[in-house]
Amino acid sequence: MESAAIIDTGNLTKQYGKQTAVKDLSFKVAEGEIFGFLGPNGAGKTTTILMLLGLTRPSAGYARVCGMDPLRDAREVKRIVGYLPENVGFYGDLNAFQSLHYIADLNGIPLRKRLERIGRSLETVGLTEHSQKKVGTFSRGMKQRLGIAEVLLKEPRVMILDEPTLGLDPEGALQLIELIQSLNRERKITVLISSHNLSQVQKISHKVGIMIKGAMVASGSIDSLAKASFGVADGGYSLEEIYMKYFQEG
Ligand SMILES: Nc1ncnc2c1ncn2[C@@H]1O[C@H](COP(=O)(O)OP(=O)(O)OP(=O)(O)O)[C@@H](O)[C@H]1O
Ligand SMILES: [Mg+2]
């Protein structure tokens, strides 16, 4: 039996003036999956994510998260979805603990639960020792991990991560990718991750979707895409080879 769709879009479209950023997009992410959301710069990934979060209004079609409309059921959707934006912003003068405390407050996490959740989140991302350091002094990798800690505060069912490893060194990127994988495995968090790093996506994703010029040109397991592109599922094709094939055709 197919698991329930946690993310579901149908003919989702976003028009910015004359430009169509997302066009007739229909895809599903099942509960418990890691879905790698791929596509070149300007393909419409971030725009899609913003519609899933109710942060921008679709021009046509629908987006559903756990069966809810992100605009109509905005509060409930925000409660269950943790979002790490492309450019995470922090107040550089706050330390990591204060920063999480502030976010917990914004998210309405009751005081009695706050300290425990902050401690657990810091621990999970490996920042416990740096909790008293000002975020302004953090390296990019530490900031990204703090971003994940913020996401974890509300104990989300779904995480939407927009290029979380951008700008990280190879080791930092690998650590973050493994952290995302362990959160998926151990806490059963469904993950949608957009990234240009195809080998990382290949390492952790159960399914991928390739978006080009606002449309999803392929989606499914990496094996199924290899089969569709090259005729064999177990030919050892890398996601990069598959992606380039669609890219050249698109
Ligand atoms: N607020 C906006 N107003 C007008 N056009 C926009 C706006 N946001 C995005 N666009 C356009 O929509 C298209 C899709 O952009 P989007 O940011 O969704 O792409 P992306 O796939 O996330 O790209 P990247 O990989 O570079 O992050 C682009 O052509 C972009 O210029
Ligand atoms: Mg983007």
Q: Residue 20 domain-assigned?
A: yes
**Within 10 Å of residue 18's Cβ, how many Cβ atoms?**
5
Whether 21 lines ligand 1, by a CB cut-off of 6 Å, is yes
Percent of the chain topping pLDDT 70:
97
Distance (Å, rounded) from C-alpha 61 to C-alpha 186?
A: 34
Q: Residue 191 domain-assigned?
A: yes
Q: Residue 103 domain-assigned?
A: no
Average pLDDT rounded to a whole number, residues 192-213:
95
Whether 161 lines ligand 1, by a CB cut-off of 6 Å, is no
Q: Which of the two residues, 246 and 207, has the higher pLDDT score?
A: 207
Closest C-alpha among 149, 206, 158, 154 to residue 179: 149
Whether 41 lines ligand 1, by a CB cut-off of 6 Å, is yes
- 3 — pLDDT class (breaks 50, 70, 90): low
Amino acid at 126: G
Closest C-alpha among 80, 39, 15 to residue 211: 39
Q: What is the mean pLDDT of the chain?
A: 93
Residue 1 scores a pLDDT above 60: no
Structural domain harbouring 28: 5-85+157-249
Average pLDDT rounded to a whole number, residues 102-113:
92
Q: Which of 23, 45, 56 to mutate to test the pocket of ligand 1 (most atoms within 8 A of CB)?
A: 45
* Predicted local distance difference test score (pLDDT) of residue 2: 57
Q: Residue 126 domain-assigned?
A: no
Distance (Å, rounded) from C-alpha 70 to C-alpha 111?
A: 27
Q: Residue 67 domain-assigned?
A: yes
Amino acid at 152: L
* Predicted local distance difference test score (pLDDT) of residue 21: 98
Whether 43 lines ligand 1, by a CB cut-off of 6 Å, is yes
Average pLDDT rounded to a whole number, residues 226-238:
81
Q: Residue 166 domain-assigned?
A: yes
Whether 47 lines ligand 1, by a CB cut-off of 6 Å, is yes
Residue 24 scores a pLDDT above 90: yes
| Cβ-contact 180, 193 below 8 angstroms | yes
Gyration radius of the chain over CA positions: 18
pTM attached to this predicted model:
0.95
Q: Residue 13 domain-assigned?
A: yes
Q: What's the number of domains the chain is made of? A: 1
Closest C-alpha among 164, 178, 165 to residue 82: 164
* Predicted local distance difference test score (pLDDT) of residue 229: 84
Q: Residue 19 domain-assigned?
A: yes
Residue 224, classed as helix, strand or coil, is: helix
Output the domain CATH number for residue 233.
3.40.50.300
Average pLDDT rounded to a whole number, residues 43-64:
97
Q: Which of 45, 47, 48 to mutate to test the pocket of ligand 1 (most atoms within 8 A of CB)?
A: 47
Q: How far apart are the first and last CA of the chain?
A: 33
* Predicted local distance difference test score (pLDDT) of residue 88: 84
- 230 — pLDDT class (breaks 50, 70, 90): confident
Residue 179, Cα to own-chain centre: how many angstroms?
Answer: 13
* Predicted local distance difference test score (pLDDT) of residue 25: 97
State residue 40 phi and psi, 5-degree precision. -65, 170
